[in-house]
Structure formats: structure tokens, C-alpha cells
Structure 1
Amino acid sequence: MAVSLTRALVLAAAVALTAAMSACSNAGDGSKSGDAGSTVTIRIPDPGNSGALALGKKDGSLDAALAAVGAKVEWTGTAGPFAPAAQSLDNNQLDVASGSITSAIAALAQKPGFKVFAAVAPDNVAEGILVKDSSGIKSVADLAGKKVVVWHGGSSEYLLLQALARNNVPAAAVTRVYLQPNQSAAVLHSGQVDAWATWSTYSISERANSGEHFLVNGADVGSKNYAIWAVRNEFLVQHPAVVKAFYDYLHAAGLEQQQQPESAINVFRTAGPDAVDGREKALTVEYLRAGSPVSAITDADKTAFAEVAKFFADQQVTDGVLDLAPHLVDVTALAATR
């Protein structure tokens, strides 16, 4: 796939910036990430067949950006729910991973093995509560007495609880059925549950192919479910320049993806289980175009994160309110970190 002129210019600038930053940082900090003859490996979940990282993997732009700070990628496993990724970060099997702030809060409440260094504004179009077209469920109030499948302590449970709270439906009035995301579609299709709270990875295919629609989406429930990028604590301490370079790449590539979403679809394959076409492709384009780039965490983001942490505590998803402040990183300051 050819690289657009805009993408080439943006990413060339990012590479130049990270190279300059690395030279300045390595002049006095002794970091092995830039020492002659040494290379830092950063382990990242494989992005599959779509998205900015898939495109960066294919066209070599990510390799170039990381090489500027003496680093290279090792693709480890596949991108998926954040809970298992958080365990991989904790167990020194991954160095960075993406997920949601809701899943990050649940994971950090158990074991603080990572820090959050970047965020993406909440998804308003491709996460929400799915119901069958034939279900007869017309409003959130209709979920009372029904069963809804969710993934514990993450995006889907947050979306359901947020929808119920926003519509004054007691959480106890709805039965939460806890299943892994890859088990949930079959249970909804079989009629064993009445709805499924989920996100883009699963909702796009379901809406395109399975006769389902959103009862409510992220915008409808006032979701503050930011996507986030997390880094293993030890990796951040040892290789801040690499984390900064990776962030710079994500930000630039995310801007390009938003402007040209079609280029980030079917990156490696146009056929097969991870390729999209027809309505599924149209919904994927809509989702990517409506998205925001990966960005540094702002004060407004911190306020929203704190609200989510309090909400999870109030809903007894977590045991008490997690103080996120010690787990957040100002990625813009990493160039000066020793």
C-alpha cells in the first residue's frame, strides 16, 4: 500500500524530532537506548489488519521512528481486551499496550504494574449496548428484568452501568452475565441474554452482519471511557526516550488515520476473517474518521479519569476510589527524563 504524501511528511517530521531528542537525551543520561551498538526492544501487541500501527508495521515508518532512538519492535501476541494485556505488562511479557481507562482502573486497583502515558477521547459511535433488531427493547428502561452480557470491570460493564444510572434504572434491576468478549456474541445470538455491552472490536461486525443495533452508544450515555496507552513501569524508567518516540509516532499516525481512514483498513489482507468489506467496512471507516488521535494526558482528561474511578467505586466495581495520579505520565516531559 502506497504511503500518502501527508503521512510521509508527518512521520518524517516525527522521526527527525525523535532523533534530535534522542541525541540530546543520550548526551548526558547514559541511557542504553541510544548507546552505539545497543538496541532496545519494545514489545507491542500485534495490531492485526487495521489501524495506524498496522500501517506503520507494513510501510516501515514505525521501525524508522524507533530506530532513531536505538529501538526496534517485537510484535508479541495480538491486540485484545486490556485485562490480559495488563497481566502481560505485570509479568514482563509486554512493554506497552492499549486499552480503556475503565479497564486500566480495574487492573491498577489489583496490581499497579504500569503507567498510563497517553489517551484518546471517548468513542461516541462504535461502543454501546447491542440488542437484536427483533428484541422489542426500545429504551434503557426496557432492560429492567433482562440479562446483559458484559466483560467484568472494563468498558462493557462501565457502559451498562453508565446507561442505567443516566436513565435512573437501578443496577440491581438488570442481571449482568460476565463472559469473555469472544464468548459473548454466541450467547446473544442464542437468546440466552437480551443485550451485550461492548466496543468497536466486536460491535462493528455485529451491527454489520448479525441483525443487531445499538440501543444506546457512548455519546448517548455520556461516556468518559477514554482509550489509553500504558507502559510497563520498569520499561518507562529504563527507556523514557523510546516511550516518547513511540508516543510521537502514535500521535502523528493517528492524525493521518483520522484524515484518511480508508488507508488503515485491510492493510495486509483484503480477504479472510480479519478483512472487512461492505457495511462492515463502511462502519469501520465511520469509526476511524470519528476518532481522535492519541494525545498527551491533559488536566481535563485527569478530571474525567477521576470521575470514572469514583463511578466504579460507587458501583462497587472496585473496592474504594483509586487515586490515578501516581499512575499517570506527562509524556511531553520524557525527553528530559534521566
Structure 2
Amino acid sequence: MRKLVWSALPLLLAGLVACSGDNNKAASENTDSQNAKKVVRIATLNGTSDVVLGRDRGTLEQYLASKNIEVKWEGPFNSAAPAYEAINAKAIDITVGSSSAFANVIANGVQIDIFAYQPMPAFGEGIVVAKDSNINSVHDLVGKKVAVNKGGTGEYLLSIALKNNNIPEDKVEKSYMLPSDTGTAFSGKHVDAWATWDPYLSVAQDLYNAKILVGGGDLKSSNAVGYFADSNYAKQNPEVIQAVFEGLKQENDWAKANQEEAGKVWANRLGYKDNANIASNLGKVNTVPLRSLSDADVEDIVKLAHWYHEKGIIKAVPDVKKHVIQLPASKA
């Protein structure tokens, strides 16, 4: 029996060595997996967002690199709609956009979640008319032609302006246009008013002789800027979502402390590098705090979803809360 045991010992030791090797290999692979660089595809829009600041200053990419995350930039897109389509097509992971458009797309089955929220400033959106126009109140819009983007922020702003003043919507002619195409129509007086948001609002005031008829604050708009992620990507990469949020918070804090410089970055991105007035206005209007979502923020998005349903744009009110990521406070 003893001889049998001793003769089997070399095989037993060999087996233990092999198992140890396998365990070490598995541990090594586990460590490699944990240390593997994550990749995130972030879309930018031609607008006044913190992600534009992060991209154009190079600072968001640097911050994420310190977290072992590689950024692949996509876009810029002209509006949120094509960016949401890109998320739906799995072509990007994260984008910025409006909470109003978000309420619309989740109702139509797009798997996208919101993880950061930036309330729209009081005069970061509104309805503008020409300075020499005889339109001096919302009631004066009756019988007039108003440019809006269909199913988006512009149509929402016009709708609540009319509702607040007890004016039936069919008393105003809506002219559906992309915001990027509306400047020419407005300056050429092909439309009487334009419901829009920044940067188009600042540009209209500086280049198209526009004045604000009524601002988003006066309208008590529930609209906001949001940051969104593909739902599946967010579930698989929560640490990336947290890191992006922290990086965006740093950009937002810098912008609040450096409004003029932030305005210049945005103006340059939009092709108005040498226009000091536009740059200054963009910086003053758009440096509002970015935050993780509160329950009140979620309720504002629910209100937007109900508006879409009331207008017949969506068939049913979506379960907004299923598409919300409520992150802890920034660690940055």
C-alpha cells in the first residue's frame, strides 16, 4: 500500500501543479479582463452642451483616459433625432439631447436611458419674432405662421404658449422645419415667428434681428437638456456611465466659472468664431448646473410624455421611470 501511495505521488504533485497553473492563468485572465480598456462612443451635437466643451477642449477624453476608458467621437449631429436613431442602430453609446425628444423616442420603443439632467435656462428657449414685427403677445400669433420642429422642442413650446393663453392650436399655422433651415425663412419673413432654443435663439437675436416674444421661463417649460445612453450599454458598463457623468460635471463646473471662454468654445464649434456677441450670449445663457436626476426631474419628463400623448404624437404614455438612471453624486 505504501509503495502504491509513493508511486502515485509524482502524478498527484503533477496534478496539483497543473491545477495551480490553471488557477493562476484564470486569475491572470480575470485581472486582464478587469484592466481591459473600456470603449465608449459619444456623439456630439452642434450646440451648447458640456460634451462639446469636453470634446473641443480635450478634457473629457483626458479624464476618461485616467479611468482606463477610451472615447470614440461620433458626429456632430445637427439635432437629437438622428443621434437617437444612431443609438437605436447601435452605432453610438451616449448622446446629448432634449428631454422632450427623449419622451417621444422611448414611447416609440427606442431602448435609451437618461443619466444626467440640465434644466433649460429661462431664456435658453422661447418664441422669437422680428424686432420690427407688430406681434407683441402670444395672442398676436393668431392667424400667423410659426416655424417649429415637428414633435420636438419647438412644437412643444408653441403648444404650451397657446395653451397658457387659451388659444386653440388650429388658430396658428405651424410651419415644420429643421432648426438649421429656419434662419433663412425667418430672416426672409417667410414665417412670422420661430419657436426654438439655444444656440439658434442667440443666433436669431444677433444675426436675424429677432427679439424674444416669450421665454421658456415664462412658459413654465418642462423641457431640459439630457445625457442619454443605450440601455444595454448602460447595464453592461455602469462604471463608464458614472465616469462620463463625472467628466461632464467637471466641464460644467469649468463653464460656470469661465462663461466667456465657454461661450467662445461653443461659438467656434457653431462657425461663429469671430462673433463676440454670440459667444458672450451663449456663455451667459447656457452655463446652468448639470446634475443626476431627482424625482422632480423625472416627473417633468413624465409631463412631457403626457403632452405628446395628448397631442396624438404617441399612442401611449411610456413608463419613463424604467428609462432613468439615478446616479449617486459626482465623485469628481
| Aligned mates of 1:334, 1:238 — CA distance in 2 | 20
The answer to whether residue 314 in structure 2 is matched with residue 315 in structure 1 is: no
The answer to whether residue 224 in structure 2 is matched with residue 226 in structure 1 is: yes
Deviates more, 1:45-54 or 1:307-316: 45-54
| Aligned mates of 1:248, 1:162 — CA distance in 2 | 34
CA 211–59 in structure 1, closer or farther in 2 if over 3 Å, else same: closer
Deviates more, 1:302-311 or 1:81-90: 302-311
> What is the deviation of 1:281?
2.2
> What is the deviation of 1:73?
1.0
Q: Of the candidates 59, 63, 67, which is equivalent to residue 65 of structure 2?
A: 67
Contact 2:55 2:61 in 1 (8 A): yes
| Aligned mates of 1:151, 1:131 — CA distance in 2 | 16
* Equivalent residue, structure 2, for 1:100: 98
> What is the deviation of 1:271?
10
* Equivalent residue, structure 2, for 1:244: 242
For 2:296, give the aligned amino acid.
A
Superposed CA offset, 1:76-122 (max 9, x none):
11043111110000011111111111111111122222111111112
* Equivalent residue, structure 2, for 1:116: 114
CA 96–191 in structure 1, closer or farther in 2 if over 3 Å, else same: same
For 1:314, give the aligned amino acid.
E
Matches within 5 A, 1:201-280: 201-267=199-265, 273-280=271-278
* Equivalent residue, structure 2, for 1:157: 155
> What is the deviation of 1:134?
1.8
Deviates more, 1:125-134 or 1:266-275: 266-275
> What is the deviation of 1:302?
1.4
CA 263–50 in structure 1, closer or farther in 2 if over 3 Å, else same: farther
* Equivalent residue, structure 2, for 1:15: none
Contact 1:97 1:229 in 2 (8 A): yes
Contact 1:244 1:331 in 2 (8 A): yes
CA 156–51 in structure 1, closer or farther in 2 if over 3 Å, else same: closer
| Aligned mates of 2:110, 2:312 — CA distance in 1 | 19
> What is the deviation of 1:186?
1.4
Matches within 5 A, 1:130-149: 130-149=128-147
Contact 1:69 1:245 in 2 (8 A): yes
| Aligned mates of 2:31, 2:318 — CA distance in 1 | 32
Contact 2:114 2:229 in 1 (8 A): yes
CA 105–47 in structure 1, closer or farther in 2 if over 3 Å, else same: closer
CA 298–250 in structure 1, closer or farther in 2 if over 3 Å, else same: same
Q: Of the candidates 190, 193, 201, which is equivalent to residue 192 of structure 1?
A: 190
Radius of gyration: which is bigger? 2
Q: Of the candidates 79, 82, 93, which is equivalent to residue 80 of structure 2?
A: 82
TM-score normalised over the length of structure 2: 0.83
**Structure 2 portions without partners, runs of 5+:** 1-26
TM-score normalised over the length of structure 1: 0.82
The answer to whether residue 299 in structure 2 is matched with residue 303 in structure 1 is: yes
Give identity over the alignment, percent.
Answer: 27
> What is the deviation of 1:56?
3.0
Contact 1:31 1:239 in 2 (8 A): no
The answer to whether residue 204 in structure 2 is matched with residue 178 in structure 1 is: no
> What is the deviation of 1:272?
8.5
Q: Of the candidates 273, 280, 285, which is equivalent to residue 282 of structure 1?
A: 280
Contact 2:44 2:95 in 1 (8 A): no
Superposed CA offset, 1:181-238 (max 9, x none):
1111112222221111111021111101111111111011111101111101221122
* Equivalent residue, structure 1, for 2:321: 325
**Structure 1 portions without partners, runs of 5+:** 1-26
> What is the deviation of 1:239?
1.2
Aligned-residue Cα RMSD (Å) equals 2.6
* Equivalent residue, structure 2, for 1:125: 123
For 2:132, give the aligned amino acid.
S
- Matched positions, count: 303
For 1:35, give the aligned amino acid.
Q
| Aligned mates of 1:327, 1:105 — CA distance in 2 | 10
For 2:254, give the aligned amino acid.
E
> What is the deviation of 1:51?
5.3
Contact 2:305 2:318 in 1 (8 A): yes
| Aligned mates of 1:154, 1:285 — CA distance in 2 | 24
Contact 1:128 1:215 in 2 (8 A): yes
* Equivalent residue, structure 2, for 1:5: none
For 2:323, give the aligned amino acid.
H
Q: Find the residue that maps to 2:116 and give its secondary structure.
A: strand
Contact 1:114 1:233 in 2 (8 A): yes
